[in-house]
Structure 1
Amino acid sequence: MKKMIAVLFLFVLLVGCAPDFGERDEAVIDESIDESMPETAIVPKYNLREDNYRVLIDSNLSKARGVITNQVANRLDIDELEEGLRRHSMEVYDPDTYYFQEGQYLTDDILYSWLDRYDEDSNPEGLNPEADESKEDDERKEEEEDNPKYLSHILEQNYLQRTENDSVELAGISIGIAMKSVYRFQTEIGGPYYYQDISEKEMMNEANEIAEKVVERIRQMEGLENVPIMLSVFREESQSSLVPGNFVAKTNIAGDSSTVGNWQDINEENVLFPSSYGQDTYPDVWATLVDFESDIGSYFPNYVSAIGKGFFQNGELRKLTVEIPVSFYGKAELIGFTQYVYGLVLAGFPSDYELEVNITSGEKQEALIVRDAGAEEGFVHIYN
């Protein structure tokens, strides 16, 4: 049974001196739950950006709310997994005609059972490899190394479309499978941590088997029997990494299929600057940041070093985020420094990628400079 949501348009009568804030957003009523007590949600009239989805605002938060923060150790990976899955979904579900809703089918109970180890008796739904956790000392360590937990999280996103009778219904889902690049484990509570590297080839072999089982189980859920699925694999970075991991593969599964077909490779990565890898792989970007640092250092004696994080697709830089940590001793000093940095941005950075510069002092953000790809000028904001 497809989930159907009726769309109504509300009009407001102005009473007395009540202010007019313009047209109300669309109200959405979910008739599939209880027609006598319809559930209302809002479809925002405007996007924050043209290349983003309008998000349903209702009481139906993610059914697995909080699971991702318990399963994925690096906060940067969490953000990239969520935002990146939406980014890749845009190639399948056009933001002009689809609405976004957090996952409504994979609950926290379902996910915790899937993400745990397989055990024929206690957890036959587990998607991580079975292991004998009763072993001790070196035998336990070897058991963990031979059977690492590859799978960290499964992220569900829902995409809805308007129908001819002014309702919206689920028209597709996206599933992100987050896999570890490093397995971190203990053999006893309070004991030392051990680290097991996982190659991308080994990870993808496991991810393919997991994906087959996930799709098979999704097709058995009411409301998802015939819904198209966009499936992708995310490779996490290590817990201490200063940049997030990246998506490595994706595939589309038609509504009448329960089989994972051929994977399409995704060529994207997040790169830290300065780093030897960044210098060797993207020398032009590295050189631009070196010149930028030199110009800042000649102006401001309290400056330490800029930290750059570049997002690349197919070898091309799409977004560069730069953090500049500085200690200030007055507002005028901050304003003058921000003006100077903004001039360096316009003069020294190519305009063919999105650029974001964050000027910080301690734990506080002092100023923000943003320039969109292709723009001649940018936006500057100095915080109070």
Structure 2
Amino acid sequence: MKRISFRIYMIIAVVVLAVAVGALYFFNANRVTPTTTKKSSGVQITQSTPGEYQTVIKNGRYLVSAARGITASSEPNSLDVKNFESSLLDLAKNHFKPSRYIFQEGQYLGSSLVTDLLGRKSSSDTIGLNPEDNGKTDSSRNPIYVQTLTEQDFMVKDGDNLKLSGMIIGVAMNTQDEYQKEQYGATYTQNISEADRVAYGKKVAAQILKQVREQKGVSDDTPIVIAMYANSQADSLAPGSFYAQTTSDKGTTIEKWSDIDDQSIVLPKEATDTSKLGSDANTGFANFKNDVANFFPNIAGATAVADFKNGTLSSMTVNVTTQFYSQTEIESFTTYISQSALKYLPSNVPIKIIVQTANEMQAILIRKSGEKTFTTTLLD
């Protein structure tokens, strides 16, 4: 009996060991690890995802921008902070295909250089992109045209290293400039016409290109794309958009510009807005809003931002503000919203619906383009 028991124990031990070894092999075989490009300096790149860029990791951490935080702290409308950089990355895919290039946060324009570029030109800031202060405090003052700029780099493998193979510079231009006549005084708004904004943007683009070419590591024949972005007004519910771009394959001369037809509008549209852009989306959203309001009496409001590319709807973000008193109300409401959205909102574009109270977010509903249902996340 003892000999039989010993054999049983041995068999069990062998089986457990085999399972453990197999599990360890399976884990190692399926573990996602960065692809090393330069072990000596600790530079790595992430695994690729179809349609998206691989990104750069250095010493185990994501490689952040050399001018990190300037855009977030300078944009007057928080909606422009995210839209400016994410839309620039989408635009870059038309010039630098993700299947060939590796994305790297801007490393050649440092924070001090960018700060100087965004300043007014003066004896102490000779490279300032904005005009000198003419001392005026009325509509004849020289406004701040250039609000912020950001750099994105695109790399290719060069042996064990990464080599700069392209850049895109996003330049955010103001549509209005807020200023004070005296320190701590009232805030005034100076509108900037489209014609003045576009003309001034083309003027400073050549100066920006010159500064980028002068940076160490940027060669005279590095392809550089400059894209111009029109900021939204500070109180707008929709972000701004890119409106023009140019490409410099060599040197500092800009030969031609091409228009970018991107636009975001707020739904429901104002009665005075007679443009055809978004008419169908506006009708569908109005039906959705009425349907949801009839179902839940405590709805405080609903708005949407519809994004268009070349006149065609590309995505929609809906915000529904209401007041809940129980978890079951939240669950019932979000279930009904998903059903109503499938009925009234466009079916062929990505849609995000945010349900919130005045103080906090309650739920997020997301449906990707072509999907038949929403994925709902309830937040504690």
Q: TM-score, normalised by structure 1?
A: 0.85
Q: Distance in 2 between matches of 1:187 and 1:378?
A: 50
Quick check: 1:245 aligned with 2:240?
Answer: yes
1:281-300 paired onto structure 2 within 5 Å: 281=275, 282-300=278-296
- 8 A Cα contact 1:250 1:266, kept in partner: yes
Tell whether the 8 Å contact from 2:134 to 2:142 is kept in structure 1 after alignment. Answer: no
Larger Rg: 2
The aligned counterpart of 2:4 is: none
Counterpart in the other structure of 1:94: 97
Note the 1:341-352 alignment, pairs <5 A.
341-352=337-348
**Unaligned regions of 5+ residues in structure 1, if any?**
1-13, 31-37, 134-139
Q: List, as ranges, runs of 4+ consecutive aligned residues in structure 1 with deviation greater than 4 Å.
A: 16-21
Q: Does 1:29 align with 2:32?
A: no
Q: 1:145 to 1:194 in 2, by over 3 A?
A: farther
Asked if structure 1 preserves the Cα contact closer than 8 Å seen for 2:166 and 2:223, the reply is yes
Instruction: Quote the offset at 1:325 in angstroms.
Output: 1.4
1:22-53: per-residue Cα shift (whole Å, max 9, x none)? 142213438xxxxxxx4313322143xx4332
Candidates 186, 193, 211, aligned match of 2:205: 211
Quote the Cα distance in structure 2 between the aligned partners of 1:319 and 1:362: 25
CA RMSD of aligned residues (A): 2.2
- Structure 2 counterpart of 1:63: 66
Q: Give yes or no for contact 2:281–2:346 (8 Å, CA) kept in 1.
A: no
Does 110-119 or 144-153 show the bigger shift?
Answer: 144-153
CA distance in 2, matches of 1:216, 1:23: 41
The residue number in structure 2 matching 1:117 is: 120
Give the counterpart of 1:188 among 171, 182, 196.
182
Instruction: Find the aligned partners of 1:278 and 1:111 in 2 and give their Cα distance.
Output: 40
**Cα distance, 1:17 vs structure 2:** 7.8
Q: Deviations over 1:330-373 (max 9, x none)?
A: 22221111111111122222212111111113332222221122
Which residue of the partner structure matches residue 3 of structure 1? none
Change (3 A) 1:371 1:279: farther
- Note the alpha carbon deviations across 1:64-113, whole angstroms, 9 max, x for none: 11222332221111111101110100000111221111110111110111
Q: How far apart are the structure 2 equivalents of 1:73 and 1:160?
A: 32
* Identity percentage of aligned residues: 26
Q: What are the within-5 Å matches in structure 2 for residues 42-191 of structure 1?
A: 42-47=44-49, 50-58=50-58, 60-119=63-122, 121-133=123-135, 140-142=136-138, 145-163=140-158, 165-191=159-185
Q: Distance in 1 between matches of 2:212 and 2:259?
A: 23
Distance (whole Å) between structure 2 residues aligned to residue 189 and residue 289 of structure 1: 44
Aligned AA (1:189):
Q
Specify the alignment match of 1:9 in structure 2.
Answer: none
Deviation for aligned residue 1:166 = 4.6
The AA in structure 2 aligned to 1:160 is M
Aligned residues: 351
Distance (whole Å) between structure 2 residues aligned to residue 327 and residue 110 of structure 1: 47
The 5-angstrom pairing of residues 211-290 of structure 1 reads: 211-225=205-219, 226-254=221-249, 256-276=250-270, 280-281=274-275, 282-290=278-286
CA distance in 2, matches of 1:366, 1:68: 28
The answer on whether the counterparts of 2:318 and 2:354 sit within 8 Å (CA) in structure 1 is yes
Q: Deviations over 1:208-232 (max 9, x none)?
A: 1100011112212221122111110
Contact 2:109 2:215 in 1 (8 A): no
1:318 and 2:327 aligned: no
Q: Check conservation: 2:285, 2:344, Cα contact below 8 A.
A: no
Q: d(CA) in 2 for partners of 1:328 and 1:359?
A: 10
- C-alpha contact (below 8 Å) 2:37/2:157 kept by paired residues: no
What letter corresponds to residue 190 of structure 2 in structure 1? Q
Instruction: Measure how far apart 1:278 and its partner are.
Output: 8.9
Alpha carbons 1:56, 1:100 under 8 Å: kept = yes
